[in-house]
Amino acid sequence: MLIEPEKRRIRLRQAPPFPMGASHHYGGTRFVVFSRHATAVSLLFFDNANDVNPSKEWKLSPDLHRFGDIWSCFIEGSREGQIYAWKMDGDEVIDGIKSFTPEAFLIDPYTKAICGPYEWRDGLGSRDIPTAPKSVVTSPVYNWKRTISPKIPMEKTVIYEVHLRGYSAHPSAQVDFPGTFAGFIEKIKWIKELGITTVELLPIQAFAENEVINRNPFTGERLKNYWGYSTMAFMAVHPPYGALPGEEKEEFSQFVRTLHDNGLEVILDIVFNHTAEGNQTGPVLSFRGLDNSIYYMMDTENKCYLNYSGCGNTLNCNHPVVRDFIMDVLRYWVVEMGVDGFRFDLASILGRDQDGNLLDNPPLVERIAEDPILRNVKIIAEAWDAGGAYQVGSFPGTRWAEWNGRFRDDIRAFWLTEGGSIADFATRLAGSEDLYGSSGRTPLHSINFVASHDGFSLRDLVSYDYKHNEINGENNRDGDNHNLSDNHGIEGYTHDHEIRNLRLRQMKNLLLTLFVSQGVPMIYSGDEYGHTKLGNNNTYCQDNPVTWFDWRLTGNSLVDEFTVSGFADPLDVDIEEGRHITDFIRNLISFRNNHPHLRRKTFFSGSIVKNSPSPFSGMRDIMWINEKMEEIDWSYPRKFIGVILGPVIENDCVNLPVQMYFNATDEDIVAVIRSIPGYRWKIMFDTSDMRISDNSDRILEDTIITVKSRSSVVASLVKV
């Protein structure tokens, strides 16, 4: 982004203290920034993104350019595309540490675009800035031609968590602009055909990808912050995600519009718990240099930052100024960029006061839920943080959905460990009423998942007992040790046909449980074909084929060979297995869509379904049974359970009952299927069947079925 070279009159003038950020107008640009404790504020202009010296510097007058804590000015002659930064100094000292860094170039918190390199190098002093990104003056991209959201109801939502770059970065994607919004758009047909309704993007706000100083110990490769949970500018799109330099904001807007035109929602994973500035030894990029004690929770006694994020600092979310900023960020992405919702990373931090204490009624959490502009968007909390808070089921407010970590753990425990119980399994399958029922919430507040970006992939859950994160350069110390996984006899890849089939069956068990459970299902990109991350459960720094979506395994790529030095070839995973899993998920989503039994807006009551026609009269909405069709004994230790979902009467239409059995034991079990005159049971899914199909050609002639060891069976009624 370059300023046009012709000479023009540029001068400093006074301006009103709103709106925040840089607002381009005819004849110039208004610049507005917050700082309570600064005594000297300068606005810097640069001709080029890589410049280390400004071409212009204006020192703002406290008498002419300050309104309370707001500093504002109008630069006559300034144009769109102007590169700028703030510089601040002040007298504030906290326990002997000076709060301001007058030599630092500071990113405007309200900037809509950034440019220039950022490189954090090991061994620098605590306040050194090796290279600093800069802000860019932009204009709105929408011109009030609003994109129309599909507005998918929660009961029909299927979420696809995906990394923007990783989805099209692999050479097998064969797109014109790999790893960009444009590259993603070229591959959305896959998502639509799978049956997905809602795309949840890992962070796409500008982040510090070069902050990682570790190297792969086997290849020497410098690692990167790949996931993006290290925000530098909350309203700016991460520049590398654009295909054309400087056009990423417009490209993201087109990305949202294209997904909406294809009936897909867009949810952003957003990180308000910390920033890229790290702890007291980290860089000064923006908030720390603008007003450190306002934006961050401080431990003044120990002269450091409170760290409830596990990343060095904690954003002071419930300070009134920071609350306003967060609300402005959310409204910007909804109003100007058209997104459909947010997943809040480590959301429990949003409920901590300025001393770090958890609040009963957090004002920010309530404001987000009640804000009139955000009223119809999806809001999802990762309801825990690194400070010990775990609020799954108790996150404040009745509008918030939650990532249900209890669902993940209990379902994994049932299928993959010696622990787990039929009671916990049944509770999760039925929508986690123990978590959401007492507060007046519903099953639709539960975002169910068995794998996500953080942790083992679906395939690795059934292939590894232990994490293998050595390539992260941290001696395998990073990542969670509590994975509730099972390698089924051999750690990692094997040619053993029997083990491979068992692993495939277990992946299908996990997926089937996910999609027949009450709540909102979420899968992570790549799990639909069984992607392996080679046992790495913390791939935050792996921007390579370990994490990239491998289109060869979907059968939709013409690339036959691709190898990367230092990495096992993911084609060790059989392509036919990949297709098998993909077809299985596609059929599961279709089955879910066609059966309102699986998409309830309320919890089961266990009572008789009213107005059920004969021969279904007397059936309850849910019945938990053993293999003999007797009422289940919840104290029985064997991990085998059956369930019958009674008929659902909807718009005068009778949706026929569904019966399911789940066998996590090592034994085949003969089970009874309920006899209903005039009907036969059709086996819709049997996870022990290795055919690439949904098994829907199997109609039972009797009422007995063998549920194979470590398998699930789902049957639906058909009239004879």
652 is catalytic: no
Please count the residues of the chain: 720
Name which of 211, 218, 705, 232 is nearest 471 in CA terms: 218
Instruction: Give the span between the Cα atoms of 567 and 350, in whole angstroms.
Output: 39
Name which of 456, 449, 457, 453 is nearest 432 in CA terms: 449
Q: What stretches of 128-272 adopt beta strand conformation (E)?
A: 134-136, 159-162, 198-201, 205-207, 231-237, 265-270
Q: What stretches of 529-639 adopt beta strand conformation (E)?
A: 622-625
The answer to whether 140 and 336 have CB atoms below 8 angstroms apart is yes
CA triple 333-334-336, angle to 5 deg: 70
CA dihedral 460, 462, 464, 468 (to 10 degrees): 10
| The pair of three-digit structure tokens given for residue 273, joined into one six-digit string | 């718990």
Instruction: From the candidates 251, 345, 433, 486, give the one annotated as an active-site residue.
Output: 345
3-state secondary structure (DSSP) of residue 486: coil
Torsion angles phi and psi, residue 405, rounded to 5: -65, -30
Please name the residue that has the structure tokens 């006559």.
Answer: 76
Q: What stretches of 457-610 adopt beta strand conformation (E)?
A: 520-524
Query: Rounded to an integer, what is the distance from CA 302 to the centroid of its chain?
Result: 34
Q: 597: which DSSP letter?
A: G
Instruction: From the candidates 211, 265, 340, 382, give the one annotated as an active-site residue.
Output: 382
**Packed helices 287-295 and 320-335: angle between N→C axes, nearest 10 degrees:** 120
Phi-psi region of 407 (alpha: psi -120 to 50; beta: other; left: phi over 0): alpha
Instruction: Give the span between the Cα atoms of 584 and 691, in whole angstroms.
Output: 10
Name which of 621, 640, 224 is nearest 423 in CA terms: 640
Torsion angles phi and psi, residue 472, rounded to 5: -80, -10
The answer to whether 205 and 238 have CB atoms below 8 angstroms apart is yes
Check whether the bond before 615 is cis (ω within 30° of 0).
yes
The answer to whether 67 and 115 have CB atoms below 8 angstroms apart is no
Q: Rounded to whole angstroms, what are the CA distances from 504 to 416, 462, 668?
A: 13, 8, 17
Q: Rounded to whole angstroms, what are the CA distances from 489 to 450, 496, 688, 690?
A: 21, 10, 18, 20
**Residue 74 host element (H or E):** strand 70-76
Residue 44 CB-density burial (10 A; 0-12 exposed, 13-18 middle, 19+ buried): buried
The answer to whether 160 and 191 have CB atoms below 8 angstroms apart is yes
Q: Which residues share a beta bridge with 458?
A: none
Instruction: Give the span between the Cα atoms of 341 and 380, in whole angstroms.
Output: 8
Instruction: Give the span between the Cα atoms of 290 and 101, in whole angstroms.
Output: 9
345 is catalytic: yes
Active-site annotation, residues: 345, 382
